[in-house]
Chains A and B, each alone.
Chain A
């Protein structure tokens, strides 16, 4: 399990990295945390001709707080975990980060690498969808924005063009009286989720739901936006009937394929269980936030 040969370049600036990428296109890969790319190279599942190391690009790392929280692509999980202001404003991360692998991997892995890798079982793509994040993509030729819901196109495929880099992720701050919750079931702590669910519930002054965002990981080819299935909650306070209705709609809305750890039926069942549990918690947290 040793990587095939490649040419390594440590990018000296963002422009340098983008120029190289424009030159080599699909033959080149950015190397961020390396926690998905290097295993794939060790298995020789990935054989880039050129590896563009972006770890030296400090301008890509960091968190800017504000009404929109802007997170540089090279920001590592460990930096997110340590930034309490970030965890307060993006509470789904507080729930989700401990589920991602182990501390040694969180010391290297980056948010940009995670989202660009687009593993459908990964937690963060579902978070990005639930939070209605915007992806800032840059190429030598220019820059564009893509909504998270459009960014994830399939298992390990995104809307990134061959010459583009994900440079930043923008998370809109939660509206007042919002509560968020992420939960997952995996076989062991740190494993990819068999099913995971992120939700944000926003309440009115009476505690009735005005808006719900809900996305799942591990149960499809991409993160699944099930906000519409959760719509039965709107107009309701936290109560069994609407929550059960939402859970049933969510179960029906997904098409899990099953894997070596779980049957498709079990995944679907879990989606319903997680929906009920996470929605209840989100209601509670929203009420507490009020």
Chain B
């Protein structure tokens, strides 16, 4: 059987890409190995670990549970797009650094994407809400406490700088 291939166009972090992909290619593999945006990580390929979380039209999703062809015509955001062009870290990235919210850093991309979207919708979360929002992202290193601290601090920083 000839591989089933499709022409797709996607926008990732504001850059437009056109590629021809095999229909079975997972979106996570497409980002990492076709577009060489390897900041998105893969830990389970079954939707559980959350490392592959990216934003699809602004909403966090598992990139291991979507086919690249399905992203045709959509806008994606990944960890590579979080800092400003001049390299300034986003409030969530900054807070993770300041509160030691990462150790090996493997889970970090998914956590950044999940929580960036979450804090946008919930500018004043309680600790319990932050923990709930984090519960779809497994981290084996940190025990979460510093991540939670970082998110509470990021929320505050974002509120303070909100217009």
Judge A-B direct contact (beta carbons within 8 Å): yes
What is the interface of chain A, defined by CB distance below 8 A to chain B?
1-8, 10, 31, 34-35, 38-39, 41-43, 51, 53, 55, 78, 101-105, 107-108, 188-190
B24, A5: Cβ atoms under 8 Å?
yes
Set A5, A8, A105, A108: member contacting B136, Cβ < 8 A: A105
* Other A-B pairs, 7, CB within 8 Å; known A43-B46, A104-B60: A2-B29, A2-B45, A8-B6, A39-B45, A55-B70, A104-B61, A188-B135
Please, how many angstroms separate the alpha-carbon atoms of A103 and B66 in the complex? Answer: 15
**Assuming A105-B62, A107-B60, is B47 touching A35 (CB within 8 A)?**
yes
Count the A-B residue pairs with Cβ separation under 8 angstroms: how many?
A: 94
B74 CB → nearest A CB, Å? 10
Nearest 5 A/B pairs, CB to CB = A102-B136, A8-B23, A39-B46, A1-B45, A3-B24
> Separation in Å of the B65 CB from the closest CB of chain A?
5
Chain B residues packing against A (C-beta within 8 Å): 1, 3-4, 6, 22-24, 26, 29, 45-47, 50, 53, 56, 59-62, 64-67, 69-70, 72, 114, 118, 132-133, 135-136
Q: Which of A4, A5, A38, A78 contacts B66 (CB 8 A)?
A: A38
Main SS at interface, chain B: mixed
Q: How far is the CA of A101 from the CA of B50 in the complex (A)?
A: 11
B3 touches A5 (CB 8 A): yes
**CB of A122 to closest CB in B, whole Å:** 14
Q: For B1, B4, B47, which residue has the most chain A Cβ atoms within 10 angstroms? A: B47
**Smallest Cβ distance from A256 to chain B, in angstroms?**
24
* Known contacts A1-B45, A39-B46, A104-B60; A190 and B136 CB within 8 A of each other: yes
Complex CA distance for A5 and B25, rounded to whole angstroms: 9
Residues of A within 8 A of B65 (CB): 34-35, 38-39, 105, 108
Q: How far is the CA of A183 from the CA of B29 in the complex (A)?
A: 38
Q: Indicate if the CB atoms of B69 and A2 lie closer than 8 Å.
A: no
Contact of A8 among B4, B62, B66 (CB under 8 A): B4
User: Can you list 7 residue pairs at the A/B interface with Cβ under 8 Å?
Assistant: A2-B29, A6-B23, A7-B4, A8-B67, A34-B66, A42-B45, A103-B118
Determine if B61 and A108 form an interchain contact, defined as CB atoms under 8 angstroms apart: yes
**Min distance, Cβ A196 to any Cβ of chain B, angstroms:** 18
Is there contact, CB below 8 Å, between A103 and B136?
yes
Residues of chain A with a CB closer than 8 A to B60's CB: 103-104, 107
Q: How many whole Å from A149's CB to the nearest CB in chain B?
A: 30
Instruction: Give complex CA distance A252, B69 in Å.
Output: 49
Which residues of chain A have C-beta atoms less than 8 A from B67's C-beta? 8, 31, 34, 38, 51
Once the chains bind, are A104 and B136 in contact (CB under 8 Å)?
Answer: yes
Q: Is the CB of B6 within 8 A of A103?
A: no
Identify A42's interface contact among B23, B46, B50, B70, CB under 8 A. B46
- B132/A42 in contact, CB under 8 A: no
- Evaluate contact between B4 and A5: CB separation under 8 angstroms: yes
In the complex, the answer to whether A42 meets B64 with C-beta atoms within 8 Å is yes
Q: Which residue of B lies closest to A76 (CB)?
A: B59
CB B101 to nearest CB in A, in angstroms, measures: 19
Known A43-B46, A103-B60, A107-B59: A2·B24 in contact at CB below 8 Å: yes
Contacting A1 at CB < 8 Å: which of B46, B50, B56, B59? B46
Question: Do A104 and B114 touch (CB < 8 A)?
Answer: yes
A42 contacts across to B, CB distance below 8 A: 26, 45-46, 64
A42, B59: Cα distance in complex, Å: 23
In Å, the complex CA distance between A2 and B45 comes to 8
Residue of A nearest to B58 (CB): A107
Bound-complex Cα distance A105 to B59 (A): 10
